[in-house]
Chain A
Amino acid sequence: MLPPVFGVLFDGIAYGMLLFVLSVGLSVTLGLMNFVNLAHCAFAMLGGYVTVTLVNELQWPFLATLPVSFLAAAAASVVLERLFYRRLYRASDLDQVLLTIGFAFISVAAAAYVFGTIQQPIQTPPFLRGSTGFLGLGLSNYRMFLVGIALVVTLLLVAGLEYTRFGAQVRAAVDNQRMARGLGIDVDRTFAVTFALGSGLAGLGGSLAIDIVGLDPSFAFTYLVYVLIIVSVGGLGSIVGSFAAACLIGISDVAGKYYAPELGAFLIYLVMVAVLMWKPAGLFGRR
């Protein structure tokens, strides 16, 4: 029999995995271009609403909607990247912040207009409901599924970065952009593709998040805070860093809410400020 602390740990890790899927795309694109995209969670929210619409209006099975939400978020990001982001790659932090906060505001208003401000219900398939007993702990099936998906995503990402030609280009560009350009790598194109993939993953994360944290128009800002914390704690451009930071923040948040509810959201902000004071570039960052 395991003591309940393991249950909290498990929930924290599952939550961390969700945050990882939401944030890893932003980490890589930030590492590539130093582009501060505060609209990242707007793409996640888009994915969430795609899933809700397909499941509730068109009676699609939940799992079948996941690839669609990935593609929808990726497609939306390509359009924005082409029309707007591209022109601000070399602009100041402030301009990037303003533009992308603008998009986040627009997305929140648009979501409220179309779907209202209420929490969206979601129907998950039967095998993802309920929980499974394990050494005296009741582990939620959905959270186990979440951990599984996150591990698959991590493996795909790490393998993709390590063993594909495109991955090598991304690594080179993150490492030293000037040299990568010198070697004839089209960094802007690499960025556009990475940006689409990262936003797609955010969309997937948005769909997966509904069952755990719910979905309403404020999602674009509420989870932006978590995502930014993870990216800066983990270090820009580092997948391993994002993974570790997501676990740290996920566990801190769940454990904080469980053991010290009066602390509220303090704990994660304190963790962030403490890590950044100690290592300004994040746990795994090099700059």
Chain B
Amino acid sequence: MTQVTSSMTPQAYLKSLSRWRAAEIVFWLATLLPFFLFPSYLSLASQIALAALFALSLDIILGYAGVVSLGHAAFFGVGAYAAGIFSKMVWGEPLTGLLFGATLAGLLGYASSFIIARFRHLTLIMITLGLGLLAHEVANRAHWLTGGSDGLQGIEIWPVFGLFKFDLYGTTAYGYSLALLFIFFLASRRLLNSPFGLALRGIRENWVRMPAIGAERQAHIRKAYTIAAFMAGVAGAALAQTTESVSLESIGFQRSADVLVMLVLGGAGRLYGGLVGATIFMVARDQFSGIAPQYWYFWIGVLLVTVVMVLPNGILGGLSKLTARWRKP
């Protein structure tokens, strides 16, 4: 933490808030460790990176703007299906496929943002849930296009830049996913330290005051929602490409609930909350993969109750409270 002193000029103070900290650099260096330490877990590491990207996209609307969504998997799923279908119908070049999937998700996000931005509280929760279920139902019904409950099979992805072939060990997959995560992390970091990021926090902190300071809060929410949908689409598209398959589950309610759990576990409204939460969630799920899924959700349930009752700001919130207490005396 940079020391805040009253002698600091306001510009220097605001600049210090977005300065890179040592712990961050260590974190990103550590993301390279799986290449050397756990080469047999690179596929898992790739999925973790994409789950983290998905959680980061939810953080922008939920953690920062305070817009609760129970249907965020719709954009993840649209990105995944679009990228998968693109590779089958057009070509297998990964970056264009990624862009196609993410753009489609972003467009869908933009269209639905006109509905989302009008509502709050229970109605908003219901609308996002309803739109999410609707997306799932469309994917399920359009069997000819998506494969329905059988999933989308036969995706073939060409090497990235024509050089790096997606291999069985997941080396390319992890490199690809990690690069995407890092790029969009940098973008999110800039966004959240921007005037727009401040406006989003303003919406979260006080919905009523925003118009009284001349803010177009609905326009802000529409923009944030579109960006978040695009990012979720990137995560979904990359998952489809790296696993060369899309299942119906990637657009379902469970996926929306999972990403919510990851985010609040790590700490919503914190840049690294989704990343930390996704890592813990995915590693734990891999470790307990022996137990039946319904029991896995028992522990998720216990976890949710614990987080809400004991750790209202997630793991990172709890940690920063602890360090603050430790520094004081």
Asked whether any CB of chain B lies closer than 8 Å to the CB of A15, the reply is: no
Interface stretch of the complex, out of B89-97, B162-170, B275-283, B293-301:
B293-301
Asked whether any CB of chain A lies closer than 8 Å to the CB of B253, the reply is: yes
Q: What CA separation (Å) do A110 and B304 show in the bound complex?
A: 16
Task: Give the residue of B122, B126, B253 whose beta carbon is less than 8 angstroms from that of A221.
Answer: B253
Q: Which residues of A contact B312 (CB under 8 A)?
A: 95
Distance (Å) between the CB of B83 and the closest chain A CB?
25
Chain A interface size, under 10 / 10 to 19 / 20 to 34 / 35 or more: 35 or more
Asked whether any CB of chain B lies closer than 8 Å to the CB of A187, the reply is: no
Q: What CA separation (Å) do A223 and B87 show in the bound complex?
A: 37
B122 in contact with A30 (CB, 8 Å): yes
**Given A107-B301, A269-B134, 5 more pairs with CB closer than 8 A:** A94-B62, A94-B268, A106-B305, A112-B295, A113-B298
Q: What CA separation (Å) do A136 and B95 show in the bound complex?
A: 63
A110 in contact with B264 (CB, 8 Å): no
How many residues of B are counted as interface, with CB atoms below 8 angstroms from the partner's CB atoms? 40
B301 in contact with A273 (CB, 8 Å): no
Asked whether any CB of chain B lies closer than 8 Å to the CB of A84, the reply is: yes
Distance (Å) between the CB of A79 and the closest chain B CB?
14
Q: Known interface pairs A84-B309, A93-B68, A102-B300. Does A217 touch B130 (Cβ–Cβ under 8 Å)?
A: no
Interface stretch of the complex, out of A51-59, A70-78, A202-210, A259-267:
A259-267
Q: Known interface pairs A97-B70, A276-B127. Does A266 touch B122 (Cβ–Cβ under 8 Å)?
A: no
Kindly report which residue of chain B lies nearest to residue A99, judged by CB atoms: B308
Task: Give the residue of A110, A236, A264, A276 whose beta carbon is less than 8 angstroms from that of B141.
Answer: A264
Asked whether any CB of chain A lies closer than 8 Å to the CB of B303, the reply is: yes
Q: Known interface pairs A95-B308, A101-B257, A232-B122. Does A269 touch B137 (Cβ–Cβ under 8 Å)?
A: yes
B121 in contact with A99 (CB, 8 Å): no
Q: Which residues of B contact A34 (CB under 8 A)?
A: 121-122
Asked whether any CB of chain A lies closer than 8 Å to the CB of B260, the reply is: yes
Q: Which residues of A contact B253 (CB under 8 A)?
A: 221
Q: What CA separation (Å) do A98 and B304 show in the bound complex?
A: 6
Q: Known interface pairs A95-B308, A265-B137, A280-B118. Does A102 touch B126 (Cβ–Cβ under 8 Å)?
A: no
Asked whether any CB of chain A lies closer than 8 Å to the CB of B133, the reply is: yes
B302 in contact with A102 (CB, 8 Å): yes
B115 in contact with A277 (CB, 8 Å): yes
Q: Which residues of A contact B70 (CB under 8 A)?
A: 97
Binding site for A on B (CB under 8 A): 62, 68, 70, 115, 118-119, 121-123, 125-127, 129-131, 133-134, 137, 140-141, 253, 257, 260, 264, 268, 292, 294-295, 297-298, 300-305, 307-309, 312
**Interface class of chain A by DSSP:** helix
- A–B complex contacts, Cβ < 8 Å, 26 sampled: A30-B122, A34-B121, A34-B122, A84-B305, A84-B309, A95-B308, A95-B312, A98-B308, A99-B305, A101-B257, A102-B301, A105-B297, A105-B300, A107-B301, A109-B294, A109-B301, A113-B294, A229-B130, A231-B122, A232-B122, A232-B123, A264-B141, A265-B133, A266-B141, A273-B127, A280-B119
Chain A 251-272, CB-CB to B under 8 Å as 1, else 0, gives 0000000000010111001101
Task: Give the residue of B115, B131, B292, B301 whose beta carbon is less than 8 angstroms from that of A103.
Answer: B301
Q: What CA separation (Å) do A112 and B125 show in the bound complex?
A: 27
Asked whether any CB of chain B lies closer than 8 Å to the CB of A28, the reply is: no
Kindly report which residue of chain B lies nearest to residue A221, judged by CB atoms: B253
Q: What CA separation (Å) do A20 and B253 show in the bound complex?
A: 24
Q: What CA separation (Å) do A97 and B123 show in the bound complex?
A: 13
Task: Give the residue of A106, A109, A232 whose beta carbon is less than 8 angstroms from that of B126.
Answer: A232
Task: Give the residue of A87, A103, A105, A236 whose beta carbon is less than 8 angstroms from that of B122.
Answer: A236
B133 in contact with A264 (CB, 8 Å): no
Task: Give the residue of B62, B122, B130 whose beta carbon is less than 8 angstroms from that of A273.
Answer: B130
In A18-58, the 8 Å CB interface with B consists of 30, 34, 36
Kindly report which residue of chain A lies nearest to residue B126, judged by CB atoms: A232
A272 in contact with B294 (CB, 8 Å): no
Q: What CA separation (Å) do A98 and B292 show in the bound complex?
A: 22
Q: What CA separation (Å) do A60 and B268 show in the bound complex?
A: 49
Distance (Å) between the CB of B131 and the closest chain A CB?
7
Q: Which residues of A contact B121 (CB under 8 A)?
A: 34, 93
B134 in contact with A266 (CB, 8 Å): yes
Q: What CA separation (Å) do A20 and B286 show in the bound complex?
A: 41
Distance (Å) between the CB of B176 and the closest chain A CB?
32
